[in-house]
Structure 1
Amino acid sequence: MTTETKRKVLVLLGPTAVGKTRLSLELAAAYNAEIISGDSMQVYRGMDIGTAKITSAEMKGIPHHLIDIHDPEDAYSAAEFQEQGKRLIEEISARGKLPFIVGGTGLYIESLCYGFRFSEAVADEAFRSEQDAFAEEHGAEALHARLAAVDPASAARLHPNDRRRIIRALEIHHQTKVTLSAAQADQKKESPYELCLIGLTMDRKILYKRIEDRIDQMLEQGLIQEVQGLLDKGYNRSLVSMQGLGYKEIAAYLAGELTYDEAVTLLKRDTRRFAKRQLSWFRHMKEIQWIEDFNEQNYPENLVKIREIIYRRFESTH
């Protein structure tokens, strides 16, 4: 496929709380774009405060896709995101608008940008049950250690509590004798799109302070009531959605397993660690143009830089 026939796709990525939302709205308005959310948690209805989901009013009339498309009991996957994202890129482009992926879920964004083929390994329920039972008996760290023994690269980027993905990585190795990390490394890294990838980051201390302030704000906005409401509707704590940051810690507090202060401390710590893992994932991706010092003070000059990056990538090459 020649560059001339490739669909242009703008991508804005970065860790949680770095400031993607405000910037994405300005860029979408400037470039006649529609936003495709690249966030694995904002797909769930009723999970608004804990996912820092944009409200309809905040969207300022800019179309947003892949938000509020699943009930919390229906697990969402990278393969489903990829399939829906590909369709949306075609539809948005056909309307004469620019597809604009915004988010922080590395696997989702990378799989769509580079057309990953997901593993042929089929679900082996007996193997999964066996791994689940092992984790229940020996703990999350022991299951994580099993993955580290066969696929250290995947283990390094998966949190020990991310049981579903750990078991999937073990299952792929069990069935195919190829590790998930090797299968991903083997993928062709040329994109079917003409990509402009922009990454945002900032001094780590400032980012961590923003994360902690955001969590305090979520609690003020009613995060505890949101989690209680989901539990009251019968959404089980073991659901993939309820394992999300903010939901599992508050659910543990509501169950009496943690004090309020312990839950908040754990949530802040886990979110800082999550941001670190997001950055590690993005750093290995190619072609990202990084804005390293993205903050309020230099927002106007960074906006100029970003517009220059977009111009060089999309306009000056034609």
Structure 2
Amino acid sequence: MMISLPACKQAQSLLNFPGGLNMDQFIPRRQKDKVVIVVGATGTGKSRLSIDLATRFNAEIVNSDKMQVYKGLNIVTNKVTEEECRGIPHHLLGTIDPDVDFTCDDFVHHASLAVESIMRKGRLPIIAGGSNSYIKALVNDDIEFQSKYECCFLWVDVSMAILHSFVSKRVDKMAEAGLVDEAREFSDIEANYTIGIKRAIGVPEMDEYFRNESIVDDDTRARLLKEAIDKIKENTCKLACRQHQNILRLQNQLKWNMHRLDVTEAFLKRGVEADEAWERVVAGPSTGIVGCFLHDHDINLVSAITAASVIGTTNATAVAAATH
């Protein structure tokens, strides 16, 4: 099912008459355009959910991951593949020079342009990524963005113990897919891993291995490689914990109304059962939530959809209730 985003932009003027009569109270407020934002720790499925939603709504995706904005290191930064994108246009994904220090201000500028471009096509912008400082800079700190857009936050969350196990296995798969050779291209003889894409987890951790692989015996080489891979796993798990805490802090401090989706069940299953669980506890409820958001339905209906999905109500029923 494809749900179109209505393009509602009404011009508004403020007319103040002498004697205290303020005509503003008689003029409808300009309806803000709507943006969906998908947050979550690394490895929780933000990209998968954003693409799922984009196939169900007339949407395009704006990447908000600090490392994925750069060209290169597709394996190391775990960029979605062309096949995984399923034809959905992605913005700010692998477009920035790898040696540039891409700041929060840069992200606000480029993301705002991307959102405006998507809106001009009558489509729904979905911003997805794990860099919460980018999201905060755009949504909370940029007054112009606040004045134009209303946001719906979807928080993809997984039990931390389960997530740590998952990201550890994911690093092993990345190593099998070519992580080492890819990281070697960005190794730095001066060991400066503070700017650009070289900061990505998976590059600095390999430094000692790259410096010694050609001058040590096979056993030492294997040990150094294992230590580097283990360090990548450790730092990825630490990143997931920091991102989780940052989301909690943003929710508490900024009072963002985040719709939390517990993905743990889907992570515990395999094959078809995992896909069915993903649809029931993540994709289905999210579709209902976004449908309510776009059609200005009561927030209680959103809660009912989420609760219904957990106890097994079909996605089709939830979506129908949300969007009609």
* Selected match of 2:244 from 268, 279, 283: 279
Q: CA deviation at 1:18?
A: 0.8
Alignment match of 1:313 (pick from 284, 293, 300): 293
Are residues 1:299 and 2:278 paired? yes
- Deviation track 1:160-207 (CA, whole Å, cap 9, x = no partner) reads xxxxxxxxxxxxxxxxxxxxxxxxxxxx99664111100011111111
Cα deviation, residue 251, structure 1: 2.5
Shift in alpha-carbon separation, 1:101–1:116, aligned structure 2, 3 A? same
Q: Would you say 1:243 and 2:199 are equivalent positions? A: yes
* Cα gap change, 1:191 to 1:208, in 2 (>3 Å): farther
- Counterparts of 1:114 and 1:229, CA distance in 2: 37
Which of 51, 76, 81 is the matching residue for 1:50? 76
| CA 41–50 in structure 1, closer or farther in 2 if over 3 Å, else same | same
Match 2:227 to one of 242, 249, 262 = 262
Q: 1:235 to 1:37 in 2, by over 3 A?
A: farther
Alpha carbons 1:8, 1:194 under 8 Å: kept: yes
Task: Name the SS of the counterpart of 2:127 in structure 1.
Answer: strand
Q: Which amino acid counterpart does residue 276 of structure 1 have in structure 2?
A: C
Residue deviations 1:123-145 (CA, integer Å, cap 9, x gap)? xxxxxxxxxxxxxxxxxxxxxxx
Structure 1 residue 110 displacement after superposition: 1.8
Give the letter for the 1:254 counterpart.
F
Alignment check: 8 A CA contact 1:72 1:235 kept: no
Report the Cα offset of residue 7 of structure 1: 1.5
1:224-235 superposed matches below 5 A = 224-231=180-187
Amino acid at match of 1:261: K
Give SS of 1:255's match.
Answer: helix
Aligned: 1:215 with 2:171:
yes
CA–CA separation in structure 2 for the residues paired with 1:63 and 1:265: 35
Distance 1:68 1:189 in 2: 24
Separation of aligned partners in 2, 1:4 and 1:310: 21
- In structure 1, the residue matched to 2:260 is 290
1:27 Cα deviation from its structure 2 partner: 0.5
CA distance in 1, matches of 2:29, 2:138: 18
Q: How does 1:1-318 map to 2 (within 5 A)?
A: 4-116=30-142, 192-231=148-187, 237-256=193-212, 259-285=224-250, 286-296=256-266, 297=274, 298-302=277-281, 303-317=283-297
User: Structure 2: which 5+ runs fail to align?
Assistant: 1-11, 13-27, 214-222, 251-255, 267-273, 299-324
CA RMSD of aligned residues (A): 2.7
Report the TM-score, using the length of structure 1 for normalisation: 0.71
SS at match of 1:34: strand
User: Percent identity over the alignment?
Assistant: 30
Q: AA paired with 2:51? A: L
What does residue 138 of structure 1 align with?
none
Structure 2 CA distance for partners of 1:78 and 1:3, relative to 1, 3 Å: farther
- Residue 56 (structure 1) shift: 2.2
Aligned residue identity for 1:305: P
- Contact between 2:46 and 2:156, CA under 8 Å: does it hold in 1? yes
Letter in 2 for 1:223: L
Change (3 A) 1:294 1:100: farther
Write the distance in 1 (CA, Å) between the matches of 2:156 and 2:57: 19
The answer on whether the counterparts of 1:43 and 1:66 sit within 8 Å (CA) in structure 2 is: yes
TM-score (norm: length of structure 2): 0.70
- Does the CA contact (< 8 Å) of 1:46 and 1:230 recur in 2? no
